[in-house]
Amino acid sequence: MSVKCKACGAQVPADAKTCPGCGAAVSAKTKLLPLAAFMLIVILIIQSYMGKSEEAQSEAKSASPVSSAQQ
């Protein structure tokens, strides 16, 4: 599979680092899908831990012992 050179428009082999026509550097395509999936997983894990700490705090407040002054 070949790609087009951004500088001159010539067809460049997919494994080439430079364009055979003009010598311009050919940028490699970045694979964003694995990076996006990883970031989504990290965000969900962080969000789940934050939710658990808020639930634990609210349960601790509601389960506080009644003092003798309040009786």
**pLDDT score at 43:** 96
| pTM for this model (two decimals) | 0.41
Percent of the chain that is helix, strand, coil (3-state, to 5)? 45, 10, 45
Mean of pLDDT values over 55-63: 63
**pLDDT score at 71:** 54
- CA 39 → CA 36, 43, 44, 53, distances in Å? 5, 6, 9, 21
**pLDDT score at 63:** 55
Residue of higher predicted confidence among 3 and 63: 3
Domain coordinates in residue numbering, the chain: 29-59
Average model confidence (pLDDT) across the chain: 79
**pLDDT score at 17:** 87
Q: Which amino acid appears at position 51 of this protein? A: G
